[in-house]
């Protein structure tokens, strides 16, 4: 499953909810007829989408049968998910972030630098956080200058880091 958005709060009094998208293509909500909503300790819900509006970096959704602020409040914190089959196709040299976690990071000389423990989203590019067995974290800008290759199947990222990044 992929999380494509998180319901933040009700929006207005007619049952709409404000969603923070976590997808590279927030317009995908406009192409969806139904939404799967998952909660921590509750069964998932499947709701028909009645309306979609985007404003700045947020999406507002109106679900059929959710007709007031109280009903919308019950959706707060829900994660809107899609299956692997429903995920957007990847372009060459693109990867799902979830596939990078726990990946081994090695230098082009074969030195083990650690494992990917986090991916930071910055304005310019993502930054991979590699944690070696000893020492502090290594921050690796996700740009071709430093990333030689990523082999998702083998679980290995090969890098060429400038001296200051280690």
> Do 28 and 49 share a domain, yes or no?
yes
Q: Locate 23 and state its tokens.
A: 């997808």
> Do 38 and 79 share a domain, yes or no?
yes
Give 39-76 pLDDT, tens digit per residue: 988 889 999 999 999 988 899 999 999 999 999 999 99
Give 5-45 pLDDT, tens digit per residue: 999 999 999 999 999 998 878 889 999 999 999 998 888 99
Model-wide pTM > 0.85: no
What per-residue confidence (pLDDT) applies to 58?
94
- Mark which of 32, 67, 86 sits at the end of a domain: 86
Task: Give the residue-averaged pLDDT of 112-135.
Answer: 90
List the CATH number of the domain containing 76.
2.40.30.60
> Do 115 and 156 share a domain, yes or no?
yes
Give 77-86 pLDDT, tens digit per residue: 999 999 888 8
Q: What is the maximal distance between C-alpha atoms in the chain?
A: 60
DSSP 146: T
> Do 6 and 82 share a domain, yes or no?
yes
For residue 92, being part of any structural domain is answered with: no
The residue segments making up the domain with residue 104 are 97-165
């Amino acid at each position: 499953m992929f999380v494509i958005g998180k319901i933040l709060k009700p929006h207005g009094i007619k049952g709409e909810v404000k969603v923070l998208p976590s997808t590279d293509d927030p317009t995908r909500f406009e192409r969806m007829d139904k939404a799967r909503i998952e909660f921590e300790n509750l069964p998932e819900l499947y709701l028909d989408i009645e309306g979609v509006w985007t404003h700045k970096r947020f999406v507002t959704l109106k679900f059929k049968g959710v007709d007031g602020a109280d009903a919308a409040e019950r959706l707060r914190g829900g994660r809107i998910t899609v299956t692997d089959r429903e995920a957007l196709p990847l372009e060459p040299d693109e990867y799902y972030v979830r596939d990078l976690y726990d990946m081994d990071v090695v230098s082009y000389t074969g030195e083990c630098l650690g494992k990917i423990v986090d991916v930071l989203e910055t304005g310019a590019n993502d930054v991979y956080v590699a944690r070696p067995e000893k020492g502090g974290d290594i921050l690796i800008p996700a740009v071709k200058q430093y990333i030689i290759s990523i082999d998702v199947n083998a679980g290995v990222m090969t890098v060429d880091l400038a001296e200051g990044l280690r």
